């Protein structure tokens, strides 16, 4: 005889297993509409990048008085769980007529085909409890995100982040989208910040800069960053412009017909400015006026004697080059002839 089981209670897991490709999500308590017995169903999620085919767990179910009602192992076989999918919520691991108050689940082994990952030796990490939102803020957030069940404050931790629906996403999952409600973590946080912004007191936003600082209230733990309206801008201080060099008014004397128009300029000292007229002397500062053209310096004329001296040396050199070789040849021939005659007739 088949029996329908209706959900009675649901509790999310308050711990997770670091480094595991599968995470325990929640426990659900169902009650049969005929027998009235309680069925325990566990939900898991594949946070890896591969398809999981099997999972082995160890669980404990405790009653109202803390007595263990059941402690056993359970195996999920013939699975084809893709990354990001939930599984196990349709399989009852334990059925009892007694009331159940808590369920403890330990991950043992997870399979990907023939590959197995042993999780028995991994120490579980306890999660901080999610924070409930105020009823008014919950309704406003659900209306802005167009979703229901957003009753928790989104939080980011070192080992993962909480969604507004209460789902925890560990760092190993590496996602900004909630696999249960579909919310984007960044958009969700921005929507909450926008709703919290008008709650800032107006006097705090308009506090003058020179007002004494009020004693700081104790900061809330793990409080998310809020975007608070900026204080009204103070009167802008005059911008200090950089020092600019401005040319002094140029004194233009009467044109001198001897001097060319484009003359170089020179700076007069105080003694040179004294003879100027009273109107010109009233304008203090450095004056720039055309300078007088220096007298041209004549270049010395070239010395013609040097050229003649150089020509005489050239003629002597040409004579030596012309006559030294033949004279040397004649002398050598004469010496050789004298030697020949001496050896033939004298000796």
Q: State the Cα–Cα distance between residues 151 and 278, nearest whole angstrom.
A: 89
Q: State the Cα–Cα distance between residues 107 and 86, nearest whole angstrom.
A: 15
Q: What angle, 0 to 180 degrees and rounded to 10, lies between the N-to-C axes of helices 185-196 and 135-145?
A: 130
Residue with tokens 């001897």: 258
Within the chain, which residues score under 70 in pLDDT?
A: 1-2, 198-314, 347
pLDDT, position 86: 92
pLDDT, position 82: 93
Q: Considering the chain, tell me which residue range(s) the CATH 2.60.40 domain(s) occupy.
A: 5-126
Which tens digits make up the pLDDT trace of 55-114? 999 999 998 888 899 999 999 999 999 998 999 988 999 988 888 888 999 999 999 988
Side-chain-side CA neighbours of 91 within 13 Å: the count stands at 14
Which tens digits make up the pLDDT trace of 112-154? 988 999 998 888 889 888 889 999 998 999 998 998 889 998 9
Output DSSP code: residue 305.
H
Architecture label for domain 5-126: Sandwich (2.60)
Query: Do residues 168 and 12 lie in contact, with contact meaning Cβ atoms separated by under 8 Å?
Result: yes
pLDDT, position 280: 44
pLDDT, position 233: 43
pLDDT, position 106: 92
Q: Is 320 helix (H, G, I), strand (E, B) or coil?
A: helix
Task: Report which of 137, 72, 126 is spatially closest to residue 103, judged by C-alpha positions.
Answer: 72
Query: Do residues 131 and 152 lie in contact, with contact meaning Cβ atoms separated by under 8 Å?
Result: yes
Query: Do residues 103 and 40 lie in contact, with contact meaning Cβ atoms separated by under 8 Å?
Result: yes
Specify which residues 272 forms β-bridges with.
Answer: none
Residues in the chain, total? 347
């Amino acid at each position: 005889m088949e029996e329908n089981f209706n959900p009675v209670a649901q509790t999310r897991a308050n711990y997770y297993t670091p480094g595991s490709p599968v995470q325990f999500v929640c426990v659900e308590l169902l009650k049969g509409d005929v027998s009235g017995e309680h069925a325990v169903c566990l939900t898991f999620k594949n946070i890896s990048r591969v398809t999981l085919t099997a999972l082995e767990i160890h669980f404990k179910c405790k009653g109202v008085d803390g007595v263990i009602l059941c402690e056993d192992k359970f195996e999920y076989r013939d699975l084809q769980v893709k990354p990001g999918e939930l599984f196990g919520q349709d399989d009852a691991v334990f059925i009892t007529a007694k009331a159940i108050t808590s369920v403890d689940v330990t991950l043992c082994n997870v399979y990907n085909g023939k590959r197995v990952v042993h999780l028995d030796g991994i120490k579980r990490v306890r999660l901080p409890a999610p924070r409930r939102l105020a009823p008014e803020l919950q309704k406003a957030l659900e209306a802005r995100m167009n979703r229901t069940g957003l009753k928790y404050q989104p939080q980011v931790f070192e080992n993962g982040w909480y969604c507004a629906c209460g789902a925890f996403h560990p760092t190993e999952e590496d996602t900004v989208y909630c696999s249960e409600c579909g919310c984007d973590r960044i958009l969700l946080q921005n929507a909450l910040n926008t709703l919290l912004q008008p709650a800032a007191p107006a006097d705090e936003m308009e506090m003058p800069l020179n007002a004494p600082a009020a004693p700081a209230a104790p900061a809330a733990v793990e409080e998310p960053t809020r975007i608070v309206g900026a204080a009204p801008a103070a009167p802008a201080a005059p911008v200090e412009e950089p020092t600019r060099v401005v040319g002094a008014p140029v004194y233009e004397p009467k044109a001198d017909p001897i001097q060319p128009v484009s003359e170089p300029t020179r700076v007069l000292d105080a003694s040179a400015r004294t003879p100027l007229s009273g109107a010109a002397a009233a304008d203090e500062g450095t004056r720039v006026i055309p300078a007088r053209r220096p007298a041209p310096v004549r270049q010395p004329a070239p010395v013609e004697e040097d050229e003649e001296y150089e020509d005489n040396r050239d003629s002597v050199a040409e004579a030596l080059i012309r006559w030294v070789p033949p004279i040397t040849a004649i002398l050598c021939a004469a010496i050789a002839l004298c030697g020949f005659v001496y050896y033939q007739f004298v000796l």
